[in-house]
Amino acid sequence: MSLRSIDEVLHQRGHWIDGRLSPSSGQDIAVENPASEQVIGQVADGDAADVDRAVRAAHDALPAWRESTLDERLALLTRLCDVLDEDCPQLAAIITAEVGAPAAIAGPAHVGFTTGILRAFVELARDFSFTATAGSATVFYEPIGVAGCITPWNLPLILIAQKLGAALVTACTTVFKPSELTPFSALRLAECMAEAGYPPGVFNVVTGYGPSTGEALVRHPLVRKVSFTGSTRAGRRVGALAADGVKRVSLELGGKSANLVLPDGDLAQAVATGSQQACFNAGQSCIAWSRLLVPAERLAEATDLAADALGGMRVGDPADPGTDVGPLVSAQAAERVRGYIASGIEQGARVAVGGPERPADLPRGHFVRPTVLTDVRPDMTVAQEEIFGPVLCVIPYRDEDEAVVIANGTPYGLHGAVWSRDEQHALAVARRLETGMVNVNGYGFDPLAPFGGYKQSGVGREMGVDGLHEFLEAKAVQCYSTR
Ligand code: NAD
């Protein structure tokens, strides 16, 4: 492969436009390694002119890309997955450096899920019918055009893949704006796409901040589809701007998911699985089961199990293969999470393990102690707001109806779990949850299924057939006899 060295990637100071690096006239943004607090590289802070060049490249690439056959597009996407597999060690090293994700998950999860998602789009599109009949009409599902895609820092490649896979198989072209905290994985992906043979302009990357670069992308008149993943706060703004331009928009936003253990559920398994799930990526996951709901009479038992699980996690250098929990992405993120732990204590929660203090043996880096807060009431701030760190709130309930009310009692509705030895009963409870995804008696992620949230967790779906429709327009054609 002719990909550049990691050092070159970290010091390129340019955007990826029309199949190559394109210098920016803007200022540089210094990117930090959250474990060492050292600057690892610089990227450009894109301005409106940079965004315009990228969108025009995507727009110019559209006609030829739309003419490609589905088979050609699927072959290219399969080739891209092979290139990504080959580049996995480099991509994983970049993700460990920019996100602070432990090496144990950077390759298998961050990069592995990325290719898993892209391969799922190959499978989905192969079976998808781009033409349908509706009454007397033939419906043609056609690419919507240029998609402007904005992604956060927590799972930088995976969240690009959820949009990119759909865009590529539906023959849309794209401009991505990755998070200013984690831009390098996206720029590396751009090189991998060129290596795989994608035509210039199909995938473009403009780096920069949200309110400047991101908003310029959302506002650009040639962008027909806006696909945003990030906080509910920024999503609200992006949604409003997209509405102003009457653009199709999908929003993948925050979560406050409940891991609901019914009285007959396997508590030990639920807490073991839920603790890992809640602390994956240092708890910086939109689908984290950050609330553990247990029968009141089993609160003490559940608290002990959770304290053992989180207390046993190894916090430290993400490059060390034995590390379970790395740093949070930034000083600001760590302060925010510590503030939430302190607010929980102030409002009457009890710390079963962890706490707001920085780990004593880690003087540098944005580390937070995996923390179990118990005796948490549903109205506490820690039970209502997304903490986005390794913090698990244990909340007791009296009966099943109250458990469902608590589970549904936040502004969010992204993910969740139900545990019961009676699977049919668990499914019935799952149907009562106002949330886009529910796991029953375990945890898994199926990229063929739709992904997205109810309420303030978002609008629209990614992945699955629903995810394809987000990038398609439906054209109904009716033919009448000329005789
Ligand atoms: P964020 O909203 O601060 O930033 C996300 C992206 O949006 C970044 O690229 C940022 O630069 C950009 N942005 C910020 N303000 C913008 C604006 N006004 N206009 C255009 N773009 C703007 O979120 P974050 O801190 O990077 O990510 C964490 C959040 O993302 C959490 O709330 C998490 O739950 C959510 N998230 C959701 C999903 C999902 O699929 N539902 C997945 C991962 C993360």
Q: How confident is the model over 250-279, as pLDDT tens digits?
A: 999 999 999 999 999 999 999 999 999 999
Burial 285-309 (b: 16+ CB within 10 A, else e): bbbbbbbbbbbeeebeebbebbbeb
Distance (angstroms) between ligand 1 centre and the Cα of 253 equals 7
Name the residue of 150, 410, 466 whose CB sits within 8 Å of the most ligand 1 atoms, as the mutation to test its pocket. 150
The mean per-residue pLDDT over the stretch 403-420 comes to 98
Average pLDDT over residues 32-59: 96
**pLDDT tens across 357-386, in order?**
999 999 999 999 999 999 999 999 999 999
Residues with Cβ < 8 Å from 434, sequence gap 6 or more?
408, 413, 454, 455
pLDDT digits (tens, 9 = 90+) for 48-71: 999 999 999 999 999 999 999 999
CA-atom Rg of the chain in angstroms = 23
Say what the pLDDT of residue 1 is. Answer: 56
Q: What is the mean pLDDT of the chain?
A: 97
Mutate to test the pocket of ligand 1, among 162, 179, 227, 410 (most ligand atoms within 8 A of CB): 179
CA distances 54 to 15, 77, 178, 190, 309, Å, are 9, 21, 14, 13, 47
For the beta carbon of residue 431, count every other beta carbon within 10 angstroms.
9
Structure tokens at 72: 């050609």
Chain segment 210-262, per-residue pLDDT in tens = 999 999 999 999 999 999 999 999 999 999 999 999 999 999 999 999 999 99
Asked whether the predicted pLDDT for residue 15 surpasses 70, the reply is: yes
Mean pLDDT, rounded, for 443-456: 97
Q: Is the CB of 161 under 6 A from ligand 1?
A: no
* pLDDT higher than threshold 80 for residue 168: yes
Average pLDDT in the 415-424 region?
98
- Which residue puts its alpha carbon closest to atom 34 of ligand 1? 254
The answer, yes or no, to whether any atom of ligand 1 lies below 6 A from the CB of 154, is yes
Predicted confidence at residue 12, as pLDDT, reads 74
Q: Which atom of ligand 1 lies closest to the CA of 255?
A: 34
Ligand 1 pocket member 45 (CB < 6 A): no
pLDDT number for residue 224:
98
pLDDT beyond 70 at 283: yes
388 touches ligand 1 (CB under 6 Å): yes
Closest-lying ligand 1 atom to the alpha carbon of residue 208: 11
Q: What are phi and psi of 194, to 5 degrees?
A: -65, -45
Pocket test for ligand 1, best of 155, 229, 415 (most atoms within 8 A of CB): 229
Choosing from 172, 286, 393, 462, the catalytic residue is: 286
In this structure, the strands spanning 458-459 and 248-252 are antiparallel
Q: Read off the pLDDT of residues 89-106 as tens digits, 9 standing for 90 and up.
A: 999 999 999 999 999 999
pLDDT given at position 6: 80
At a CB cut-off of 8 Å and minimum separation 6, what does 195 contact?
A: 1, 2, 3, 83
Is 191 catalytic? The answer is no
Q: How far apart are CA 418 and CA 260, in angstroms?
A: 5
Give residue 11's pLDDT.
Answer: 78
Angle (CA) 363-364-369 rounded to 5° is: 70
Going from the Cα of 62 to the center of ligand 1, the distance in angstroms, rounded, reads 27
Indicate if the pLDDT at residue 446 is higher than 60: yes
User: How confident is the model over 454-478, as a mean pLDDT?
Assistant: 98
pLDDT at 27 (0 to 100):
86
Give the residues across from 351 on adjacent strands.
Answer: 373
Point out the catalytic residue in the list 191, 195, 252, 386.
252
DSSP assignment of 110-139 equals IIHHHHHHHHHHHHHHHH--SEEEETTEEE
Mean pLDDT for 332-349 is 98
Per-residue model confidence (pLDDT) at position 4: 81
Residue 298 Cβ < 6 Å to ligand 1: no
Q: How confident is the model at residue 124 (pLDDT cuts 50, 70, 90)?
A: very high
Rounded Cα–Cα distance for residues 466 and 463 (Å) = 7
Task: Work out the percent of the chain whose per-residue pLDDT is above 70.
Answer: 100
Whether 479 is a known active-site residue: answer: no
pLDDT confidence band for 133 (50 / 70 / 90): very high
